[in-house]
Each structure stands twice: as structure tokens, then as C-alpha cells.
Amino acid sequence: GRCVAARTLRAARVVTRQYDQALSEHGITITQFTLMVAIGRHNPDSLTKLADGLDIERSTLSRNIAKLKSGGFVETTSSAGRAQELNLTPKGRDTLKAVYPKW
């Protein structure tokens, strides 16, 4: 019970669960909300840049982006080479507008 790291992780899980419950009616989690905000503000031209900017493992980011894409919140467009530009869909933009007051 004295380990600061364990207590911090537990607190983070509790806070995350609270946000996830509040956002569930919109079909997203707080992690997905954070990604959508970053995509909407920065229009990253690669998953690597987004992962680096948010300090997220690229594999974790890819899984979360796949969920956002399948939900119709985010779309990717390929540019020259292997880079994929990330953009919010109209559904993604509308969802962010609806979610901001709860955040």
C-alpha cells in the first residue's frame, strides 16, 4: 500500500473509468477522445508522429486508431510512400463537439 507507483496507477485507472463511463453514450473512451483531439488539432501525417507526440507506443496507437476507423470517427489517406494522414470524419467532429461539455 505504500508504493507510490502502484497507488498512482490505481488512481489513474479509477479516473479513466470515470471518464469512460461519462463518454460511453458517445461510443468512445477517454483514450479515443484524446486521440481524436490530437488528430483534429494537428492533422498528423503519420502514425509515428502522432505516437511520438503523445508518447504512446505505435502498436497501441495502431489498435486505437483501428477502433476509431471502424467506428467511423477517423479516416486515413495514404500519401507518397507509406505515410498515412489522419483526419476526423464528420462523425468524429460532431462527436467531439458533443463530448467537450462532459470532458
Q: What are the residue boundaries of the structural domains of the chain, listed by start?
A: 4-99
Q: 30-65 in b/e burial notation, b at 16+ Cβ within 10 A?
A: bbbbbbbebbeeeebebbeebbeeeebeeeebeebb
16 is written with which cell numbers?
A: 479513466
Q: What is the CA radius of gyration of the chain?
A: 15
Quote the pTM value. 0.85
Residue 83's pLDDT is what? 67
Q: What tens digit of pLDDT does each residue of 33-86 get?
A: 999 999 999 888 888 889 998 999 999 999 999 999 999 999 988 766 666 789
**pLDDT interval class at 1 (50, 70, 90):** low
Q: Are 75 and 89 in contact (CB under 8 A)?
A: yes
Within 10 A of 75 (CB to CB), how many other CB atoms are there?
16
User: Nearest-5° angle of CA 86, CA 12, CA 36?
Assistant: 15
Residues 4-42: tens digit of each pLDDT: 999 999 999 999 999 999 999 999 999 999 999 999 998
- CATH code of the region 4-99: 1.10.10.10
